[in-house]
A and B are shown apart, each in its own frame.
Chain A
């Protein structure tokens, strides 16, 4: 990551002081194994929250609990929808939760295979959420797909090709296009740049940064790459063994880490 790209991302929209997401003492166990413990925070509209920590620290577990994909043993996640209504993500009916997942929310998986339909063309992948939301005009669906392929810098002539013929970076950009086409408010991302070459990562990060700013998205991004966190997130939570050990504004946490573990993380990145 070059020095120039390391500016603090601009906060999109601070007009409202109602949190988009209120997370209260969330705990998830896998049998005796701790997934994440006692996590609380608020996410405000337009804000990007980074979650960092070493492998096994509970980042994915926390993200899945936040996104309603895993049910926690304790605690709650409350989402405030477009109408201002508060939705308890884990208490609400499954139809309502799934509706949220395909309208207000988006989930970008680390492995694009988990987030794409590999047997369906790129255009069909991008169009699916539109069709799920009731779009019934082929021409319009197709032009929206093209529009999003352009935004995510995918060669438009590949619209009828299956993602299995795409490179890893293209697949990941397609997954992002597929998720953002319906204009969600909140995006969950699990290591969106993981598994990609460094040069491909940088391009994807630029793209994500641009889209998040342009669309005024709120996002929660899990990464173990502090450079990614620095570039994309306003605030940061550092996890270790399932617990949040430090939190704050991204620059503050990374430039002046308080917790021993964060200091270790930051210094291990600085040393080649």
Chain B
């Protein structure tokens, strides 16, 4: 089928896939270390997750089931177009259900449902270098990683506290991997950082524009950086999900009508739907139902 459409399976040619797999193996051997790879042009612009797409294309097998999320949702433009792309060039099954997926490509979120052994997370990474913010020279940041000179990372957190009274970094919150490399976990909310730690899933990170790959093998310790007197904390909400009543999920604020009515709902749409199907009801579920009618 692929031949008919003049695509190799999953779009990339086998040589490119092998090159990416070699980079992935190296990344897995040195968790958190950014491996350069000869990234390919993809039929979509940077910023659409070309790094993640290349990683997914290199590991995808015909029997895989793929889930793609963007901001926790499966139905945003970005997620839909990546899913369609792989349906077309690889003919694989796709799903919105976290538990059914063997590969989950993501931008911005880690599913709420616990991941399992055998599942693979593929993260789309815009800026892989966590030290870039304070040290623009690539030669210098490479040296800092090599020599474990990470004082600068705490300078960034120090600046946060000095300016805001607390660590105000909420996305792409830096972590230390296996007590060695400092890593940018991609722009997931810090709410998701604890899910990186000791995860049974394999986690792969691809940066398309900067041509870097890094990885966390299953059960890798991942620690969010902090100060003794300003320990790492995740976001919390005062109310449960308006639709499913969940108190343990990452909530997005949504505006309901032109009067500015707001409510908080799960950002992970699969999680929310699954809970509602199981009979969980949030405080505003009724009101939303009525508004929709």
Identify the stretch in A77-85, A113-121, A199-207, A246-254 within 8 Å (CB) of chain B at 4 or more residues: A113-121
Task: From B134, B149, B161, give the contact of A138 (CB < 8 A).
Answer: B161
B151–A137 CB distance below 8 A: no
Chain B residues positioned under 8 Å from A124 (CB to CB)? 155, 158-159, 162
B158 closest partner in A (C-beta): A124
Write out the residue numbers on chain A whose beta carbons fall within 8 Å of the beta carbon of B227.
Answer: 136-138
Report the bound CA distance from A120 to B149 in whole Å: 18
Convert B234-271 into 0s and 1s, putting 1 for each residue whose CB lies closer than 8 angstroms to a CB of A. Answer: 00000000000000000000000000000000000000
B40 at the interface (CB under 8 A from A): no
For window 73-122 of A, CB contacts with B under 8 Å fall at 94-95, 98, 102, 117, 119-121
Q: Mark contacts of A120-140 with chain B using CB atoms, 8 A cut-off: 1 yes-contact digit, 0 otherwise.
A: 110110011101110011110
CB-contact partner of A136 in B154, B155, B161, under 8 A: B154
- Interface flags for A46-71 (1: CB within 8 Å of B; 0: not) read 00000000000000000000000000
- Partner pick for B158 among A94, A131, A133, CB 8 A cutoff: A131
- Whether A136 contacts B158 by the Cβ 8 Å rule is no
Q: Within the complex, what minimum Cβ distance (angstroms) separates B240 from chain A?
A: 33
Q: Are A98 and B151 in contact (CB under 8 A)?
A: no
Name the distance in Å between A159's Cβ and chain B's nearest Cβ: 8
* A131 and B154 contacting across the interface, CB-CB below 8 Å: yes
Chain A interface mostly helix, strand, loop or mixed? helix
Q: Write out the residue numbers on chain A whose beta carbons fall within 8 Å of the beta carbon of B229.
A: 137-139
Q: Assign chain A's interface to a size class.
A: 20 to 34
Mask for B152-171, Cβ within 8 A of A = 1, else 0? 10110011011100000000
List 15 extra interface pairs beyond A98-B147, A124-B159, CB under 8 A. Answer: A94-B147, A119-B134, A121-B162, A123-B162, A128-B152, A128-B155, A131-B155, A131-B158, A132-B149, A136-B154, A137-B227, A138-B158, A141-B158, A159-B162, A160-B163
Q: What are 25 A-B pairs at a CB distance below 8 A? A: A94-B147, A117-B155, A119-B134, A120-B159, A121-B159, A123-B158, A124-B155, A127-B155, A128-B155, A131-B151, A131-B152, A131-B154, A131-B155, A132-B149, A132-B150, A132-B151, A132-B152, A133-B151, A136-B227, A137-B227, A137-B228, A138-B161, A138-B228, A138-B230, A139-B229
Task: Tell me the A residues contacting B by CB distance below 8 Å.
Answer: 94-95, 98, 102, 117, 119-121, 123-124, 127-129, 131-133, 136-139, 141-142, 159-160
Binding site for A on B (CB under 8 A): 134, 143, 147, 149-152, 154-155, 158-159, 161-163, 226-230
